[in-house]
């Protein structure tokens, strides 16, 4: 009976109750969706880092990571790779040669880390081959020597790309919601070629204005860039005997991950070709990358490898990228802290509402106690009214957020037009897929109920302090 009475009491003042419920709904909706956004970004960053940058575990010579000196390499790596490959926890493993190198073209020069890879093994431990730009070559697919796979960033640094607005690129800009008036201003530039980004951006600024350029730069540059495939790059690095050696490679493909820093410093060639150039033994490697069948086994398996190969440095993805580990481990704590702050603020609103309810019904409450309703039932009634307000708003907020998370989690939220370059500078994908597991929904619902209970304690105690005789004579 108390439940029924409490529920009816909630709707005695519909406007006030709806305002409170709407406040709780909007607060929970905003909090849950913000958490889903952060969780989606965190998961995408972790997956991209493991898939393209670190793998689950890496093995190096004990001194290699001090300054990336190529003379510190793993001898007899072929045998070690075979041993690791046969372990039941291992999904795939690949060896790499790593050199600090300088590169020159007829237009520019830059430095990067040159990775010599076994192309088929590498496909099993990284997904770089899936990040190749459309119409920008392939992943060492053709049978010709001296191929080099570079990133879009390295291509820009070496000025191996031109910029040209074509009919197709203008159509793509329409899909990206660039206003038709901006596209019409770009029409006169169609099919005109610009040899570098600076000249192209200066021209765009004069045509569409600085404000519009800042807003649509990322999309315009992305759809107007044309790469010069099979361009020659002269690479210079240190050989095993300490001499500087040079070799000219031809660009076979252009890749682009979501980590700008990784792209700017990482280039790939065939391992056999770089070893022929530098004189390193074909059984040597600077790095052994490992992917496991179960990511949860990383720490346990790393400890096993450290015991088996005590002379080498064995690192998990978290040790290679400690910021990523911190983000992975502390995000959960941050989420709850974030929701508690929101619920704390909402709790004050509920307390204020229930105090008003108690003060408006002093005479009614006094009469109920006078005719025999005990204080426990009065306390329970006020508590339940508060819980109903918070739970109703909370459940509606959770349902709305779950629906939107489900929709945007499938389609993604594209921020590339606004802050895409900023996202990629931090290693995050500019298209975010919100994500939230069921346990978060359950915990948030429990926290909402607790908020309602805690918020009702003070108003309910206020009601208990009423003297029935005085309350009945009250005008309230």
Residue 94 to residue 96: CA distance in whole angstroms: 7
Q: DSSP code of 412?
A: -
For helices 375-411 and 14-48, angle between their N-to-C axes, nearest 10 degrees: 40
List the single range of 66-75, 87-96, 352-361 with lowest mean pLDDT: 352-361
The confidence score (pLDDT) of residue 225 equals: 81
* Contact yes or no for 234/102 (Cβ under 8 A): no
* Contact yes or no for 288/121 (Cβ under 8 A): no
Q: What is the mean pLDDT of residues 98-111?
A: 91
DSSP per-residue string spanning 125-194? H--GGGGEEEEEE-SS-S--SSEEEEEHHHHHHTT-EEEEB-HHHHHHHHHTT--HHHHHHHGGGBT-EE
What proportion of the chain, given as a percentage, has pLDDT over 70? 89
Query: How many of the other CB atoms lie within 10 Å of CB of 48?
Result: 20
For 160-183, the pLDDT digits (tens) are 888 888 888 888 888 777 888 888
* Contact yes or no for 95/121 (Cβ under 8 A): yes
Task: Provide φ and ψ at 6, rounded to 5°.
Answer: -60, -40
Residue 226 to residue 198: CA distance in whole angstroms: 15
The confidence score (pLDDT) of residue 164 equals: 87
List the single range of 62-71, 171-180, 188-197 with lowest mean pLDDT: 171-180
Q: What is the mean pLDDT of residues 61-65?
A: 92
- What's the distance, CA 129 to chain centroid? 20
> Does the pLDDT value for residue 471 go beyond 70?
no
Q: What is the mean pLDDT of residues 419-445?
A: 77
List the single range of 128-142, 224-238, 248-262, 367-381 with lowest mean pLDDT: 367-381
Instruction: End-to-end CA distance of the chain: give it in Å, rounded.
Output: 25
Residue 192 makes CB contacts below 8 A (sequence gap 6+) with 164, 165
The confidence score (pLDDT) of residue 191 equals: 86
Q: DSSP code of 419?
A: H
Residue 156 to residue 238: CA distance in whole angstroms: 25
- Domain ranges for the chain, please list them: 2-48+324-473, 63-160+228-310, 165-224
DSSP per-residue string spanning 44-83? HHHHHIIIIII-SEEEEETTHHHHT-TTS-BTTHHHHHHH
For 8-46, the pLDDT digits (tens) are 767 777 787 788 888 888 888 888 888 888 888 888 888
């Amino acid at each position: 009976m108390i439940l029924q009475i409490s529920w009816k009491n909630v709707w005695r003042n519909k406007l006030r109750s709806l305002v409170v419920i709407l406040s709780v709904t909007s607060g929970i909706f905003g909090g849950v969706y913000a958490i889903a956004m952060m969780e989606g970004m965190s998961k995408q960053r972790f997956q991209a880092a493991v898939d393209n940058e670190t793998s689950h575990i890496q093995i190096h010579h004990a001194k290699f990571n001090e300054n990336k000196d190529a003379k510190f390499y793993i001898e007899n790596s072929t045998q070690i790779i075979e041993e690791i490959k046969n372990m039941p926890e291992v999904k795939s493993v690949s060896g790499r040669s790593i050199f600090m190198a300088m590169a020159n073209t007829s237009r520019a020069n830059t430095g990067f880390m040159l990775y010599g890879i076994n192309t088929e093994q590498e496909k099993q431990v990284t997904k770089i081959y899936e990040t190749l730009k459309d119409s920008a070559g392939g992943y060492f697919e053709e049978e010709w020597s001296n191929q080099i796979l570079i990133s879009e960033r390295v291509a820009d640094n070496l000025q191996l790309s031109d910029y040209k607005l074509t009919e197709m690129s203008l159509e793509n800009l329409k899909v990206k919601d660039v206003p038709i008036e901006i596209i019409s201003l770009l029409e006169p530039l169609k099919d005109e070629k610009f040899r570098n980004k600076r000249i192209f951006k200066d021209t765009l600024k004069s045509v569409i204005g600085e404000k519009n350029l800042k807003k649509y730069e990322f999309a315009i540059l992305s759809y107007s860039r044309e790469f010069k495939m099979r361009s020659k790059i002269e690479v210079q690095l240190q050989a095993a005997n300490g001499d500087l050696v040079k070799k000219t490679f031809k660009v076979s493909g252009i890749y682009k991950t979501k980590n700008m820093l990784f792209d700017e410093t990482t280039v790939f060639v065939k391992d056999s070709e770089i070893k022929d150039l530098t004189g390193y033994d074909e059984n040597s490697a600077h790095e052994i990358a490992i992917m496991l069948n179960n990511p949860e086994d990383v720490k346990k398996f790393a400890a096993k490898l450290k015991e088996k190969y005590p002379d080498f440095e064995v690192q998990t993805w978290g040790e290679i990228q400690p910021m990523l580990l911190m983000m992975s481990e502390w995000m959960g704590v941050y989420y709850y802290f974030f929701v508690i702050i929101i619920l704390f603020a909402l709790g004050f609103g509920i307390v204020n509402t229930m105090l008003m309810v108690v003060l408006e019904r002093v005479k009614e409450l006094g009469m109920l106690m006078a005719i025999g309703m005990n204080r426990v039932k009065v306390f329970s009634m006020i508590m339940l009214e508060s819980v109903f307000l918070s739970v109703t708003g909370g459940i509606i907020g959770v349902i709305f957020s779950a629906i939107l998370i489900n929709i945007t989690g499938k389609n993604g939220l594209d921020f590339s037009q606004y802050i895409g370059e900023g996202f990629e500078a931090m290693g995050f994908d500019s298209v975010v897929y919100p994500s939230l597991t069921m346990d978060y929904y359950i915990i948030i619902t429990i926290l909402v109920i607790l908020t309602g209970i805690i918020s009702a304690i003070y108003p309910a105690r206020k009601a208990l302090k009423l003297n029935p005789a005085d309350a009945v004579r009250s005008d309230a």
